[in-house]
Structure 1
Amino acid sequence: MARRALKKMRRNPEQFFDVTVQPLLFTAMFAYIFGGAIAGGVKNYLPVLIPGIVAQTVLTTCMATGVQLREDMEKGVFDRFKSLPMARIAPLAGPMVADLIRYLIAAGLTFLTGVVIGYRPHGGVLGVLGAVLLAIVTGWSLAWIFTWLGTITKSAKSVQGISMMILFPLTFLSNAFVPVSTLPGWLAAFVKVNPVSHLVSGTRTLANQGSVGAEVGWTLLACLVVVAVFAPLSTLSYRRHL
């Protein structure tokens, strides 16, 4: 099933637009628009911005998993899998394995763009690789939520609309782009408990300092909980359609 998803990606290169164009556009746009206002300059803002863009890009990328799943179900493709000797979770997990490539491209391009415009991660190669891995694991875990949405909604547009309604507030109401200290007290309280903030902080610690902080542990724990809850739910909901 993962091989099938990879073939679909190869034959439909437009599926890579969100992981190639978006990182370049958002990194350059946010850096030069907000860098001077928030950090006094682009170079000073990049250590804050780049990990935030990595988190945002990977999270918005995982949304496509549920959308594509719903499209396949609408076309009747999954009806052909009923008689095949495979685990019921395979049609769901296979595309998610293939999507790891898309997460890697998104995170890697974001860091590369940051380096081109002046970002110098003090965590070194290992720190950057750790930050990329953390973002990929988080994106793969959250994709189970959107996979579940894909099995319970009636159309791909519904999946996309609900996913954007969930992801955009969580992403922008986090510490991805601005310091928490600049926010009103009520908003800062939400930002501190926002799971995206833990991901961003963990990514910053790895990339900028090369150390594994508590935020990395909290992020991985949240990922484990999400997979433990939504992988069985997705499989159960999918079996009801068979």
Structure 2
Amino acid sequence: MPDSNHRFFDGLNQTLTLAWRTLVQIRHNPWELGDFSIQPVLFLLLFLYVFGGAIAGSTEAYLQFILPGVIVMNMVFVTVYVGHGLNMDLTRGVFDRLRALPIARWAPLAGRITADLVKQAWSILLLLAIGFLLGYRLEGTVMGLLGMSLLLLTFALAFSWVMVWIGVIARDPEHVQLFGFTALFPVTFVSNVFVPTESMPPWLQVVVELNPVSLLAEASRGLLNGEAFLQPALWSMAWALGIGLVFAPLALRALERRLASGSSP
């Protein structure tokens, strides 16, 4: 038992080292962080100033509604880059070289996912900072803000397994983005991220209320705006658990098959 604990902590240390390797690369190519920084801010500004007056009557009122939604939308979108980065490592042989080292077999994949969670945290922090500069009012508590961040990072961790699976089965990084964004656009836009559910046709409201993106957005608004959040937060965690239980085994089996076949999809 002590030996197994020692191996686990060694693997954990190796995971953090590999995550740091991924993050340090940003210094040499800062544009890698662009999709986690520029894209979400552009989405926030465009929707706020183009649609805010029409949807909420004023940009001030719409900012209270849209900021948590954009944070959720961005969290879902940027999980694509977990699969994209993994696919690049696989197709270039980097993953094979890492697994040939005397490290835990799960450390390279865990390091990739851990680095993505750090980038996710950066996106949340950046969007909150921009929101406060634009006039967003935190009507909840600081604990609510921290709770929202923890909820989103937990869901991002679970949803990353979907993108790991896509990253393994896709032929190249371009196909990862094609498959990932094609699947995410309808899930994200058929939600209450941009408009209240009540403004939609009754038949569409049923779909939107079951959408995990809607549940996350509703929970995030509740935590930030001091409103009810418990029920959507619990349903979000249930979705995260279900997604992880389904896609983590699928992704790991697909990864083992691809590595066994010489990194061919």
- Does 2:42 match 1:25? yes
Tell me the matched-pair count. Answer: 242
Shifted more, 83-92 versus 29-38: the winner is: 83-92
**Aligned-pair CA distance for 1:57:** 0.9
Kept in 1, the 8 Å contact 2:87–2:173? The answer is: yes
Max radius of gyration: which structure?
2
Q: For 1:114-129, list aligned pairs within 5 A.
A: 114-129=131-146
Q: Secondary structure at the match of 1:241?
A: helix
Q: Secondary structure at the match of 1:192?
A: helix
**1:200 maps to amino acid:** A
Paired residue for 2:195? 178
Q: Matches of 1:130 and 1:64 in 2, distance apart? A: 24
Kept in 2, the 8 Å contact 1:88–1:235? The answer is: no
Q: Matches of 1:210 and 1:88 in 2, distance apart? A: 44
Q: Matches of 2:101 and 2:160 in 1, distance apart? A: 25
Q: Secondary structure at the match of 1:123?
A: coil
Paired residue for 1:56? 73
Paired residue for 1:106? 123
Q: Matches of 2:106 and 2:245 in 1, distance apart? A: 13
- Does 2:23 match 1:43? no
Q: Matches of 1:82 and 1:111 in 2, distance apart? A: 38
Structure 1, gaps ≥5 residues long: none
Identity, % of aligned positions: 38
**Aligned-pair CA distance for 1:87:** 3.4
Alignment root-mean-square deviation, CA: 1.5
**1:224 maps to amino acid:** L
Q: 1:222 aligns with which of 235, 239, 252?
A: 239
**Aligned-pair CA distance for 1:114:** 1.3
**Aligned-pair CA distance for 1:78:** 1.6
User: Which runs of 4 or more aligned residues in structure 1 lie more than 6 Å from their structure 2 counterparts after TM superposition?
Assistant: none
- Does 2:226 match 1:209? yes
Kept in 2, the 8 Å contact 1:205–1:211? The answer is: yes
**1:233 maps to amino acid:** L
Q: Secondary structure at the match of 2:139?
A: coil
Kept in 2, the 8 Å contact 1:92–1:235? The answer is: no
- Does 2:259 match 1:232? no
Paired residue for 1:149? 166
Paired residue for 1:159? 176
Q: Secondary structure at the match of 1:121?
A: coil
